[in-house]
Amino acid sequence: MKHDFDLFVIGAGSGGIATARRAAQYGAKVGIAEFDRLGGTCVNRGCVPKKLMVYASHFPDLFEESQGYGWSSVESTLDWKKMITAVNNEVNRLNGIYQKMLDNSKVEVLQGYGKFVDSHTIMVDDASGGQSQRQVTADKILIAVGGKPVKPHILGIEHAITSDDIFHLKKQPKRIVILGGGYIGCEFASILNGLGTEVTQVIRGDKILRGFDEDIRIEIQQSMINHGIRIVNNIELIAIDKTSEGLKITVKGSGDTEETVVADAVSLAAVGRKPNTQNLGLENTKVQHRDGAILVDEYSRTHEENIYAVGDCTDRINLTPVAINEGRALADTVFGGKSRIMSYANIPTAVFTTPEAATVGLTEAEAREKYGDAVKIYRSRFRPMYYTLAGKDEKTLMKLVVDSNTDKVLGAHMVGNSAAEIIQGVAIAVKMGATKADFDATVGIHPTSAEEFVTMR
Closest residue (Cβ) to ligand NDP?
A: 182
CA angle 58, 60, 65 (to 5 degrees): 95
- Site for ligand NDP contains 152 (CB under 6 A): yes
CB of 276 to ligand NDP, least distance (A): 13
The backbone region for 236, taken as left when phi is positive above 0, alpha when psi lies in -120 to 50, beta otherwise, is: beta
Spatial CA neighbour of 138 closest among 331, 274, 3: 3
How many residues sit in the footprint of ligand NDP (CB under 6 A)?
Answer: 24
- Site for ligand NDP contains 43 (CB under 6 A): no
The sheet with strand 396-403 has its strands ordered as 349-351, 357-361, 408-415, 396-403, 375-382
Binding residue for ligand NDP, selected from 3, 134, 148, 204, defined by CB under 6 A: 204
- Site for ligand NDP contains 352 (CB under 6 A): yes
Using the minimum distance from each CB to ligand NDP, give the nearer residue, 113 or 352.
Answer: 352
Of 15-23, 107-115, 226-234, 267-275, the segment contacting ligand NDP by CB under 6 A is 267-275
- Site for ligand NDP contains 210 (CB under 6 A): yes
Q: How many CB atoms lie within 10 A of CB 231?
A: 20
- Site for ligand NDP contains 253 (CB under 6 A): no
Residue 446, judged by CB atoms within 10 A of its CB (0-12, 13-18, 19+), counts as exposed
Tell me which residues in 288-347 interact with ligand NDP (CB under 6 A). 318-319
Binding residue for ligand NDP, selected from 22, 175, 273, 399, defined by CB under 6 A: 273
Rounded to whole angstroms, the Cα distance separating 107 from 27 reads: 11
- Site for ligand NDP contains 424 (CB under 6 A): no
Binding residue for ligand NDP, selected from 49, 181, 275, 384, defined by CB under 6 A: 181
Using the minimum distance from each CB to ligand NDP, give the nearer residue, 130 or 211.
Answer: 211
- Site for ligand NDP contains 221 (CB under 6 A): no
Is 446 a residue of the active site? yes
- Site for ligand NDP contains 42 (CB under 6 A): no
Rounded to whole angstroms, the Cα distance separating 138 from 123 reads: 11
Of 31-39, 180-188, 244-252, 435-443, the segment contacting ligand NDP by CB under 6 A is 180-188
Using the minimum distance from each CB to ligand NDP, give the nearer residue, 160 or 390.
Answer: 160
Contact call for residues 277 and 145 (beta carbons, < 8 A): yes
Of 3-11, 74-82, 131-139, 202-210, the segment contacting ligand NDP by CB under 6 A is 202-210
CB of 209 to ligand NDP, least distance (A): 7
Give pairs for 323-329: CB < 8 Å, separation 24+.
323/13, 323/14, 323/15, 323/18, 323/144, 324/14, 324/15, 324/18, 326/15, 326/300, 327/14, 327/15, 327/16, 327/18, 327/19, 327/22, 327/142, 327/144, 328/18, 328/19, 328/22, 329/299, 329/300
CA angle 125, 317, 214 (to 5 degrees): 145
Contact call for residues 329 and 15 (beta carbons, < 8 A): no
Using the minimum distance from each CB to ligand NDP, give the nearer residue, 23 or 268.
Answer: 268
Neighbouring C-alpha atoms within 13 Å toward the C-beta of 287: 32
Of 177-185, 326-334, 365-373, 394-402, the segment contacting ligand NDP by CB under 6 A is 177-185
Q: Which SS3 state, helix, strand or coil, does residue 262 take?
A: strand
Binding residue for ligand NDP, selected from 122, 247, 268, 271, defined by CB under 6 A: 271
- Site for ligand NDP contains 268 (CB under 6 A): no
CB of 187 to ligand NDP, least distance (A): 6
- Site for ligand NDP contains 49 (CB under 6 A): no
Using the minimum distance from each CB to ligand NDP, give the nearer residue, 206 or 245.
Answer: 206
Which candidate in 289, 303, 413, 446 is catalytic?
446
- Site for ligand NDP contains 426 (CB under 6 A): no
Q: How many CB atoms lie within 10 A of CB 100?
A: 10
Q: Which SS3 state, helix, strand or coil, does residue 113 take?
A: strand
**H or E element at residue 103:** helix 80-104
Tell me which residues in 182-201 interact with ligand NDP (CB under 6 A). 182-185, 187
Rounded to whole angstroms, the Cα distance separating 269 from 160 reads: 6
Active-site amino acid positions: 446
Site residues (vs ligand NDP, CB under 6 A): 152, 179-185, 187, 203-205, 210, 237, 270-273, 318-319, 349-352
